[in-house]
A and B are shown apart, each in its own frame.
Chain A
């Protein structure tokens, strides 16, 4: 057997077809930066002239000219109208149309300040209400405030406030001391509650350290026995009250012939503290409160 091999030629054919790709670009790009500022323009023409101004014045300024051509001045002051014043450096001038200089005011002040109706207070000295009555010792009533007055001729600083026991004092007491303002001739507002002392010996002064400055004037100095001693006696006035010439000029009464008084008293429980003075009554017997000038 014969085998026959037949070979058939195969021709492979490749066909290439060109393709043209097309890109279309559309739209607008971002705006670029601003350009530089241009040069300044030329100056404009001058405007038209405005109307004339008008001057309006008020007292004490006056205008001797016109509202458009003023001639101003300041009027002289009087007791009826404000205005400019001439200064006068004098303490004897009787002018009612000039003003005092600070120098003349100071001269007048210095003179007034040197004219004291009373003697000046002396540093280191104790003071009490002025009276020519006999100083005695007597029993102070508990829960009663005794107010006596002292007048100071000028501002003063006090460094002690005190009472003094009598020569027959015995036991131990508690006594509150204080200073009150003068209101219409009577004790008024509390100025200082100095605290208490505890008297336990006869003929002994019991003093509290204070630091109280008072302007010139009348003040009331007070003591109040909170707890009485067995024999609770203190220095005071009152056994001969017809002779009680005091800060009030003698008697304080609605009738002309009467006993003089030495001060005011008030029923008050001072266990905790003093309060402003309340209802007080005049009395010839007073137990003295002393104060020392610093």
Chain B
């Protein structure tokens, strides 16, 4: 997993700034365990 994107209440909303995305954070590789 590379990134966690969080929307505000109600989810995606093109009428709100940044489509209502309130946070974008990178996730360190060691916190993911995708196997295939």
Which A residues are closer than 8 A to B by beta carbons?
A: 134-137, 160, 162, 164, 167, 174, 177, 194-198, 201-211, 235
B1's nearest neighbour on chain A, judged by CB, is: A203
Identify A195's interface contact among B7, B27, B33, B36, CB under 8 A.
Answer: B7
Chain B residues with CB under 8 A of A203:
1-3, 32, 34
- Tell whether, in the assembled complex, residue B35 and residue A136 are in contact, meaning their CB atoms are under 8 Å apart: yes
B24's nearest neighbour on chain A, judged by CB, is: A204
Interface centre among A160, A164, A206 (most CB of B within 10 A): A206
- Tell whether, in the assembled complex, residue B9 and residue A209 are in contact, meaning their CB atoms are under 8 Å apart: yes
- Tell whether, in the assembled complex, residue A198 and residue B2 are in contact, meaning their CB atoms are under 8 Å apart: no
Identify A197's interface contact among B9, B11, B22, B35, CB under 8 A.
Answer: B11
- Tell whether, in the assembled complex, residue B1 and residue A195 are in contact, meaning their CB atoms are under 8 Å apart: no
- Tell whether, in the assembled complex, residue A174 and residue B34 are in contact, meaning their CB atoms are under 8 Å apart: no
Further 5 A-B residue pairs, CB within 8 A, beyond A135-B35, A207-B7, A209-B22: A194-B10, A195-B7, A195-B11, A203-B32, A206-B5
Give the shortest distance, in Å, between A21 (CB) and chain B (any CB). Answer: 111
Identify A209's interface contact among B2, B7, B19, CB under 8 A.
Answer: B7
Interface bracket on B: 20 to 34
Known A-B contacts A196-B11, A196-B12; the reply to A160 vs B6 at CB < 8 A is: yes
- Tell whether, in the assembled complex, residue B1 and residue A211 are in contact, meaning their CB atoms are under 8 Å apart: no
Give the shortest distance, in Å, between A132 (CB) and chain B (any CB). Answer: 13
Provide a sorted-by-A list of 11 A–B residue pairs whose CB atoms are within 8 angstroms: A135-B35, A137-B36, A162-B4, A174-B12, A177-B11, A194-B11, A195-B13, A202-B2, A205-B27, A208-B9, A209-B22
**Proximity bits, B7-26, A CB within 8 Å = 1, else 0:** 11111110000010010000
A207 to B11: give the CA distance in the assembly, Å.
8
A184 to B13: give the CA distance in the assembly, Å.
35
A176's nearest neighbour on chain B, judged by CB, is: B11
B7's nearest neighbour on chain A, judged by CB, is: A208
Nearest 5 CB-CB pairings of A with B: A195-B11, A208-B11, A203-B2, A207-B6, A204-B3
